[in-house]
């Protein structure tokens, strides 16, 4: 193993590694083992960040590592445009089986942003309509198309206009921040705003797709009310609009269900999947019913690296581990346990305005005072730094970075939850 020290790495990074990419921590990482990440000084950190919801089975998972090694010995290079490869086809079959009917057809890509690009292109080509509706505070990625439907930070959009034309942003039903916990009112007002948008700005007959995260990720771990998702589904059906669910962060068991949209009992037309799919190797996918991609047409979209055999072999190991160890149920149960612990801490902590699930997609929102709900991003950022000092990795999110998101691995244990809560409580006492 390389013996480069943390200081050497940081200094080297300052010379040749991009300063444009934002980093949560000025720490240098050496290796990971199970649910711990180790820095170059050998200090271990309980990893409840998972590289932003990616390494959901932790680090160096034996099944994933073995699958990668085996595939590397056989074939590394892409097969997408060359024909068919075993792990690629098998992952398509097994991934499709996790979706409700009629979602059965997979297009593999490399990143979350690419799935958004693909979804937007498919929607436009298949419907023959230009319009895309997305929601305020959403985050869908960094490519120009994905940036056009993203509004969780001005910095993500500034200087890039003109963005994609015919994109319209509707208010997201932020239950805590805008409606003080009233889901019904949040649903009613957001649907009314959507109807106003399609009555005064863009006719529904010009809209190809409505794009939504069933739980907003970067925007603040804001769950869309189930009733809102159902009304959105009905609205799309009424107007022939495709409903695109961005499950890049909320998918793969994170919400205590395999897919976040299942909380509402709806079936989207297109689902975007990435992050957790290969526990750290670059892989993503869009999932639709077969007929939609048949209408999209051969060659209407393509990729060189999408569906890499090594990434797909890792993906198979991830999916089989989740299934065999019943990890979606574990995420639901452990999510309740972690949420209960956080609520207990929040009850005695006026700086916490809200603790919200679902499952292991938990947001803790910090406020300057509870009644006014004024966001306190400085506090949340100071806290994640303090937690890291004390050996726990958690991240912020939210438009003012005011939410701490807890992204525990799907196979987290009660002992680790207790350890994390203890560190968080200690951090709160010193910040
Ligand atoms: C909901 C959501 N969609 C899309 C993306 C973009 O994914 P990627 O960074 O892999 O392009 C992200 C990344 O955080 C995300 O959280």
Largest CA distance in the chain: 63
Compute, in angstroms, the gap from residue 431 CA to the centroid of ligand 1. Answer: 30
Burial 124-142 (b: 16+ CB within 10 A, else e): bbbbebebbbbbbbbbbbe
Distance, CA 344 to ligand 1 centroid (Å)?
31
Residue 68 lies in a domain: no
**Domain match, 223 and 297 both:** yes
Residue 69 covered by a domain: no
Nearest CA owner, ligand 1 atom 7:
112
Separation of CA 249 and ligand 1 centre (Å): 7
State yes or no: cis peptide before 82, omega within 30 of 0. no
Alpha carbon separation from 76 to 107, 311, 348, 395, 404 (Å, rounded):
19, 9, 53, 33, 38
Domain extent, residue 402, equals 6-60+327-430
Residue 137 lies in a domain: yes
Residues of the chain with pLDDT under 70: 1-4
Ligand 1 centroid from CA 141, angstroms: 5
Question: What is the per-residue pLDDT for 1?
Answer: 45
The predicted structure's pLDDT at residue 4 = 67
Going by alpha carbons, the residue nearest to atom 16 of ligand 1 is 249
Q: Based on the domain organization, do 265 and 177 belong to the same domain? A: yes
**Total Cβ atoms within 10 A of residue 218:** 25
Q: What is the tally of structural domains in the chain?
A: 2
Per DSSP, the three-state class of 212 is strand
Does residue 43 share a domain with residue 176?
Answer: no
Q: How far is the CA of 369 from the centre of ligand 1 (A)?
A: 31
Q: Is residue 83, in this structure, part of any structural domain at all? A: yes
Regarding whether 353 and 225 lie in a shared domain, the answer is no
Structural domain includes residue 263: yes
Are 299 and 195 part of one and the same domain?
yes
Q: Please choose from 255, 273, 274 the residue to mutate so as to test ligand 1's pocket, defined by most ligand atoms within 8 A of CB.
A: 274
Centroid of ligand 1 to alpha carbon of 372 (angstroms): 31
My answer on whether 343 and 305 are in the same domain is no
Pull the structure tokens for residue 409: 């691995």
Q: Which helix (DSSP H) or strand (DSSP E) does residue 293 occupy?
A: helix 290-296
What is the spatial distance between Cα 33 and Cα 56, in angstroms, rounded to a whole number? Answer: 13
What DSSP character marks residue 202?
S
Pocket test for ligand 1, best of 119, 147, 275 (most atoms within 8 A of CB): 275
Model pLDDT, residue 10: 86
Say which residue the tokens 């003012």 belong to: 400
Atom 13, ligand 1: residue with shortest CA distance:
141
CA of 218 to the centre of ligand 1 (A): 9
Same-domain check for residues 103 and 82: yes
- Using an 8 Å Cβ cutoff, are 205 and 169 in contact? no
Listed residues 324, 339, 369: the one ending a domain: 324
Of 140, 259, 395, 396, best ligand 1 pocket probe by most atoms within 8 Å of the beta carbon = 140
Q: How far apart are the first and last CA of the chain?
A: 36
What residue's CA is closest to ligand 1, atom 3?
140
Within a domain: residue 1?
no
- The enclosing domain of 13 has a CATH number of 3.90.1150.10
DSSP 319-372: HHHHHHTTHHHHHHHHHHHHHHHHHHHHHT-TTEEEEE-STT-EEEEEBS-TTT
Residue 8, pLDDT score: 83
Instruction: Give the pLDDT confidence score for residue 91 in this predicted structure.
Output: 98
| Look-up of token digits 């801490």 | 345
| Residue 67 is assigned to a structural domain of this protein | no
Q: Is residue 212 part of a domain?
A: yes
What is the four-CA torsion angle of 170, 171, 173, 178, rounded to 10 degrees?
A: 180
Same domain, 310 and 335: no
Angstrom CA distances, 158 to 162, 165, 211, 246, 304, stand at: 10, 16, 21, 23, 30
User: Both 313 and 281 in a single domain?
Assistant: yes
């Amino acid at each position: 193993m390389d013996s480069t020290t943390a200081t050497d790495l940081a200094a080297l990074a300052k010379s040749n590694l991009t300063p444009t990419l934002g980093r949560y921590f000025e720490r240098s990482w050496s290796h990971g083992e199970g649910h711990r990440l180790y820095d170059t000084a050998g200090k271990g950190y309980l990893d409840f960040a998972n590289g932003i919801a990616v390494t959901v089975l932790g680090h160096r998972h034996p099944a994933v590592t073995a699958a990668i090694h085996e595939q590397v010995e056989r074939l590394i290079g892409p097969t997408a445009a060359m024909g068919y490869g075993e792990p690629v086809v098998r992952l398509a079959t097994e991934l499709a089986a996790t979706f409700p009917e009629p979602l059965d057809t997979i297009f593999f890509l490399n990143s979350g942003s690419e799935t958004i690009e693909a979804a937007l292109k498919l929607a436009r080509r298949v419907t023959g309509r230009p319009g895309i509706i997305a929601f305020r505070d959403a985050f869908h990625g960094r490519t120009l198309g994905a940036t056009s439907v993203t509004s969780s930070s001005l910095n993500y959009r500034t200087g890039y206009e003109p963005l994609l034309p015919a994109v319209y942003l509707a208010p997201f039903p932020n239950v805590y921040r805008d409606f003080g916990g009233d889901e019904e009112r949040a649903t009613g007002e957001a649907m009314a705003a959507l109807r106003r948008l399609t009555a005064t700005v863009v006719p529904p007959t010009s809209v190809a797709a409505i794009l939504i995260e069933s739980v907003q990720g970067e925007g603040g771990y804001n769950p869309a009310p189930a009733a809102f998702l159902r009304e959105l589904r009905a609205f799309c059906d009424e107007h022939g609009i495709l409903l695109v669910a961005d499950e890049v962060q909320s998918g793969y068991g994170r919400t205590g269900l395999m897919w976040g949209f299942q909380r509402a009992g709806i079936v989207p037309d297109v689902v975007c999947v990435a992050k957790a799919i290969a526990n750290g190797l670059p892989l993503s996918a869009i999932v639709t019913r077969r007929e939609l991609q048949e209408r999209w047409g051969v060659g209407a979209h393509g990729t060189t690296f999408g569906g890499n055999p090594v990434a797909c072999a890792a993906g198979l190991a991830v999916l089989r581990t989740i299934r065999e160890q019943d990890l979606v149920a574990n995420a639901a149960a452990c999510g309740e346990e972690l949420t209960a612990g956080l609520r207990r801490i929040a009850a005695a902590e006026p700086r916490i305005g809200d603790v919200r699930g679902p499952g292991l997609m938990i947001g803790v929102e910090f406020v300057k005072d509870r009644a006014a709900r004024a966001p306190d991003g400085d506090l949340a950022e100071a806290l994640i730094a303090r937690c890291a000092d004390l050996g726990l990795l958690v991240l912020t999110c939210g438009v003012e970075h005011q939410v701490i998101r807890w992204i525990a691995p799907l196979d987290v244990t009660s002992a680790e939850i207790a350890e994390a809560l203890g560190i968080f409580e200690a951090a709160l006492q010193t910040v």
